[in-house]
Amino acid sequence: MQKSGKKQGLAEMAYDEIKELIVSNQLTPGQFITETEMQERLDMGRTPVRDAMRELERDQLLVIHPRRGAEVSSVAPRKIRELFEARMLIEPAILKAEMENLDMDRLREMQQLFSRHIDKDSPDLDDEILELADIDNEFHRMITDLCDNSYIDRLIDSLFDFQRMIRIIVSHNVDRFNASNIEHVKLIDAILDGDNEKAAKLLAEHLSNSLDATLQNFLVTQL
């Protein structure tokens, strides 16, 4: 955000707080909010809240309707597809170019965590999925953080914010949970072996499989 001084700080605070309400599903897709409502909720003035909401519209988390307020962006099949298509273009390319700069010790730790959750018959699947989601996010952000480009950084931040919304809204499937963990283990194997081509290919396949499963589970959630 391109303001200065105290106004910049307040606008950034408002942006962060409203974004957290959106991506954590406290403000739900399709819900309308107003500047006045957000001012009261955040205990902030009109200007930082307005600036934050405009910024959130640029990040496609809000749709502003003049004289009506702002609508929390919906989760739809097209948006899910666009999210994963963007990730499939960006992440494998970064991994292929910068793979040797990853923290290999941390990757080995992650691989063990993914391995422990393969074919595990657990009554607490939802808890396990949430636990592994943090590791999954860390793994993918390790890759994207290798790219030192502020424009790509902003795009990736937006993609992962929307990904977090999807994870909360879309139902989970034990078969995909196991398959995803297996894919991560094989992908990390390729990285540890130093095979850039294979690792990039496996990452693209993993994201493609995740897209198919997410679309399928989203449709189930809507029934």
Per-residue pLDDT of the chain (223 residues; tens, 9 = 90+): 444 444 569 999 999 999 999 999 999 999 999 999 999 999 999 999 999 999 999 988 999 999 889 999 998 999 999 999 999 999 999 999 999 999 999 999 999 999 988 876 555 666 677 778 889 999 999 999 999 899 999 899 999 999 988 888 887 777 888 899 999 999 999 999 999 999 999 999 999 999 999 999 888 877 6
Element (H, E) at 38: helix 35-42
Distances (CA, A) of 151 to 43, 121, 147, 154, 155: 31, 42, 10, 5, 6
Strand, coil or helix: 68: coil
- Report yes or no: 206 and 140 within 8 Å, Cβ to Cβ: no
pLDDT confidence of residue 176: 86
Counting every residue written for the chain, the total comes to: 223
Q: How many CB atoms lie within 10 A of CB 10?
A: 19
Output the DSSP codes for 151-187: HHHHHHHHHHHHHHHHHHHS---HHHHHHHHHHHHHH
CB burial readout 116-152, b (16+ within 10 A) else e: ebeeeeeeeeeebbeebeebbeebbebbbeebeeeee
The secondary structure of 110-128 as a DSSP string is HHHHHHHTTT---TTHHHH
| Assigned token pair, 184 | 């991560």
Helix, strand, or coil (residue 65)? strand
DSSP state of 146: T
Q: What is the pTM of this model?
A: 0.85
What was the pLDDT predicted at 8? 62
Which tokens is 143 given? 């890759």
